[in-house]
Amino acid sequence: MNQRNETLKRGAAAGRKPNVRVKTIAFVGLMGALSAVLMLLRFPIPFMPPFMSFDLSGVMEMLGGFMFGPGAAFCIILVKILLQLVIQGSFSLGTGEIQNLILSSCYVLPAVLLYYRGKTKKRAAAGMAVSTVLVSVVAVFTNLYMIIPFYANLMGQRMEDFVAMCTAVNPMMKDTLTMAVFGIVPFNLIKYGATSVVTFLVYKKLSRLIKGIVER
């Protein structure tokens, strides 16, 4: 009798595994779609570079990473970008999408990897704090040495044109250095700091709900 019960339990567990996998994939797709919707609600921040926009799409990416791992987080990022391209197209000849992929990955993946070394609230908070600082630094280099120069060359513009756009909204940004110090860095600290706070506040409740559905 015990052997029969054990066999039945193993069969039930084996049957649940494919079901859990399918539900996980479905939630990854759903989170990617929600992330794309949140990205559509983006808006500029006063006194910050006008070519940058604030959104909370990273909340879904970070939540998905904490729940399902770094691979799932990267898939959510890809789904978000692809859906955004389908819905709106590209306003930056693809440079904005490249930037989004780089910065989203730099923000989400280090925090998720750190969290998976020991799943505690402190580790999650520490991971997001480290990632927020990291992505803010990376954004300086990607903007000044990759994305803006590439876009400027395609459109026949100069770096000075982008500096002038920033000076118009904040006179403290007078050159590339001050644009980085008073624009790019604080903008990303605000954006990803806010994303981290929202993620920290909602993660436990949402993770219990979603994991309950996935593992049912």
Each residue's pLDDT tens digit, 8-67: 345 444 445 678 888 889 999 999 999 999 999 999 999 999 999 999 999 999 999 999
CA distances to 5, 15, 118, 168 from 148, in Å: 64, 51, 38, 18
Is pLDDT at 5 greater than 60 in this prediction? no
What pLDDT is recorded for position 45?
A: 96
Higher pLDDT: 12 or 111? It is: 111
Each residue's pLDDT tens digit, 54-98: 999 999 999 999 999 999 999 999 999 999 999 988 878 888 899
What pLDDT is recorded for position 65?
A: 96
Domain boundaries, the chain: 2-214
What pLDDT is recorded for position 140?
A: 97
Each residue's pLDDT tens digit, 153-163: 888 899 999 99
What pLDDT is recorded for position 16?
A: 57
What pLDDT is recorded for position 210?
A: 84
Place of tokens 């992505």: 135
3.40.1180.10, 1.10.3370.10, 3.60.15.10, 1.10.1760.20: CATH of 2-214: 1.10.1760.20
Average pLDDT for 178-204: 97
What pLDDT is recorded for position 211?
A: 77
